[in-house]
Structures are given as structure tokens and as C-alpha cells.
Amino acid sequence: MPYPKVTLIVVPNQCFNYTQKSLESIYQYTDIPFKLIYVDGYSPSKVKQYLEVQSQEKGFRLIRTEKYVSPNHARNIGLQHVDTEYVVFINNDVLVTTDWLNNLMQCAQETGSPVVSPVCLQGTLENMNIHSAGGCLEFQYKDGNLDLFEKRTFVKNSFDRVQPLLSRKPTQIIDFNCVLVRTSFLSKIDKLDEDIVNFAQDIDFSLSVFAVGGTIYLEPESIVNYLPVAELKFSDMPYYLLIWNYVWKRKSINYFQEKWGLAKDAKFISDALGQISEDTTLPVRSLLELTKQLYVNEGDRINPKNFKRS
């Protein structure tokens, strides 16, 4: 078997609920040699046990952290063990499709671009919409103050409707749900910025690529599917609340603003601050359903034993 040219680094995104679905799709639909590094960011015990079994059966490297880590932190942990020509960052809530990796690799080889992004979909099998298909980033001065303008291509449009309009071409925005990068190119960026915790990690990386003279290509023949959190499991609550907590979000926004020299009242920044409360909304049916498992009997007292982490 040929030596793998690519390493996949799987990292936690918002929860651990889709771990099995995502991992199974990778092994089902990836038909070229690859290495896999799975960064298990302190997942619940059932997920931890599943990953340990799969790591033994499939022979991938499993790295378990004993505390929650942000996605960029997890990516940097995985990068320390990469020795292949290419690396793919993929979140633990993403499903891949037939030939996804072949097409990313082919685009990188034929264009020479160090960064290649697939088309990322979201939705049901009957109604797939565009989650990410590239876009534009532009710095602009207004009244002497620097702002950043972002325009995503075909977001929320039906994939069936816009697919004929998609083509391989340079783009300016990646999506960290899934992206391929030439490993040697990452040395120019040093490492992924861990001070960008839960805000615009994809935009920060894209700007960093262009800052060192790199390019990004969109490969529409490579398709992945992002699974948003439809209903939060109780065991996933601590990580979800940590990732989207107000303090981390506010710090990330302020850091991003200072890093890229944006004005404090830039529209890009003010819009982000305005979305903080929206991002922390819990995707749960009701507080009663969420807390039911804490009780000995419904309507009875809280059982302290149930506060143990599952």
C-alpha cells in the first residue's frame, strides 16, 4: 500500500453527539491511503470508550485531553504529530461523501494552491443547502477607520439549484468544518491562533494565508455535510456552554479586532458583538426535559449522584 500523503485531524466542534456518524463516514467514503489523528477533547465516557475501541480496530492515533479544548487548540495538538505532505482539518460533526478527499488532493496538485476547501452542505437528504462555498473578504477604510467586509457565496441556497454555478476557482474564505492544507505551508503561519477561541477562526486563518502570500481554492467536486446541533444532550452541555460562553466570545472578538487593526466601531466587530446572545441559545426542548435525569423521580428531589459526568 502506498505511503499516505495526507493526515486527517479530527477535532471537537460544539458537541460530541455525532462522533460515531462522522468517523464512520470517513472510513466508508475515503478510498485513498490516509493517516488519522483524532483529538478527543475530554468527551463523555461513552464517546471516550467508543473512540478507544475504534482506535485499536482501525489503527489511528487517539489523543485524549483531560480538559476541554478549543478547536484551534485541538488542531495544534494534532499538528505536532503530522508527517505527511498534506493535512486535513475536519470537525467531529461533519460527514464526508464519495471521493471527497481524492478531489481535494487533485485540486491541490493541479492548482499548486496550498489550501483547498470543499463545498460544505447543511440540511436533510431531501433539502440540502449551502453552508459554505467560499466567498470574499475585503478590508475597507471608512472615514479613516479600517473595517472588514465578508460575503459568503450562495449561503442557505439549495444545493441542487446552485450546483451548476459552482466551479473550481480561487476563493478568499475557508470553512474549518473541513479544509485541506499543504503541511509545509503551515510553517509560514507558525500555528493556528489559540487566542481565537470561538469567533471567526475560519476568517482569521484565511487572512493569515493571504498575509504570507498563499492562495485558497474552492473544489466543488469535494462535498461534505455539516451536522448542526439539533438537540443538545445533557452530557454535551458543559462543552457547548464553554465553547459559546460570553467571556470567551467577547475576548475573541476584541483580540481579532486588535490583531487585524480594525476600528473598535467597525461594522464587522459591532455585528459580531450583537450576535453573542444569539449564539449562546441552548438547542434543547425545555429546561424540564434537560434536567429530568437529575431527579430520582419526576417531581422528587434532585439526586446528587446524577451530577457525575456521563
pLDDT average, residue stretch 282-291: 52
Query: Do 51 and 137 belong together in one domain?
Result: yes
Residue 247 scores a pLDDT above 60: yes
What does 281-300 look like in DSSP terms, one character per residue? ----S-HHHHHGGGBSSTTS
SS3 30: coil
Which pLDDT value is given to residue 277? Answer: 62
Give the amino acid at 13: N
Could you identify the residue written with the cell 493526515?
7
Same domain, 20 and 97: yes
Is pLDDT above 90 for 303? no
Taking residues 195-208, what's their average pLDDT? 95
Q: Answer whether residue 25 shows pLDDT above 80.
A: yes
**Looking at the predicted structure, is the pLDDT value of residue 2 above 90?**
no
Enumerate residues 6+ apart whose C-beta is below 8 A from 256: 196, 199, 200, 204, 262, 269
In a domain, 51, yes or no: yes
State the pTM of this model: 0.90
Does 255 lie in the same domain as 112?
A: no
> Residue 36's closest CA among 16, 64, 13, 62?
62
H-helix segments, 190-245: 201-211, 237-243
Neighbours of 260 (CB within 10 A): 19
**Paired sense of beta strands 169-171 and 216-226, if any:** antiparallel
Note whether 52 and 179 are same-domain residues. Answer: yes
Number of domain units in the chain: 2
Please indicate, yes or no, whether residues 31 and 56 belong to a single structural domain of this protein.
yes
Q: At what angle do helices 19-29 and 45-58 cross, to 10 degrees?
A: 20
Provide the pairing of β-strand 86-91 with 6-11.
Answer: parallel
Top pLDDT among 264 and 293 is at: 264
Averaged pLDDT, 268-282: 78
Exposure on the CB side of residue 12, measured as CA atoms within 13 A: 31
**Radius of gyration over every alpha carbon of the chain, rounded to an integer in angstroms:** 20
Give me the pLDDT at residue 304, please: 40
Last residue of a domain, one of 172, 202, 226: 226
Q: What is the pLDDT of residue 143?
A: 87
Please tell me the predicted confidence (pLDDT) of residue 260: 98
In a domain, 192, yes or no: yes
Please provide the DSSP assignment of 54-113 as one string: HHHHH--EEEE-SS---HHHHHHHHHTT--SSEEEEEETTEEE-TTHHHHHHHHHHHH--
* Mean local confidence (pLDDT), 257-281: 87
The residue among 193, 226, 259 that closes a domain is 226
- With 90 as the cut, is the pLDDT of residue 257 above it? yes
Q: Is residue 163 part of a domain?
A: yes
What is the domain range of residue 288? Answer: 234-307
Q: Which of 183-192, 209-218, 245-254, 286-295 has the lowest mean pLDDT?
A: 286-295
Report residue 298's pLDDT band, with 50, 70 and 90 as the boundaries.
Answer: very low
The pLDDT of residue 263: 97
User: Residue 158 has what DSSP assignment?
Assistant: B
Determine the residue type at 76.
Answer: N
Rounded average pLDDT over 88-111: 98
Shared domain check, 248 and 177: no
- Tell me, yes or no, whether 102 and 197 share the same domain: yes
Q: Is residue 137 located within the same domain as residue 39?
A: yes
Note the pLDDT tens digit of each residue in 34-63: 999 999 999 999 999 999 999 999 999 999
What is the spatial distance between Cα 197 and Cα 46, in angstroms, rounded to a whole number? 26
Provide the grid cell at 304: 446528587
Mean pLDDT over 158-180 rounds to 97
The yes-or-no verdict on residue 152 having pLDDT over 80 is: yes
Q: In which region does residue 135 sit, left (phi positive, over 0), alpha (psi from -120 to 50) or beta (all else)? A: left
In a domain, 210, yes or no: yes
8 Å CB contact between 176 and 91: yes
d(CA 34, CA 94) in angstroms, rounded, equals 17
Whether the pLDDT of residue 106 is over 70: the answer is yes
Share of the chain above pLDDT 70, in %: 88
Residue that the C-alpha cell 458543559 belongs to: 238
Map grid coordinates 473598535 to a residue: 264
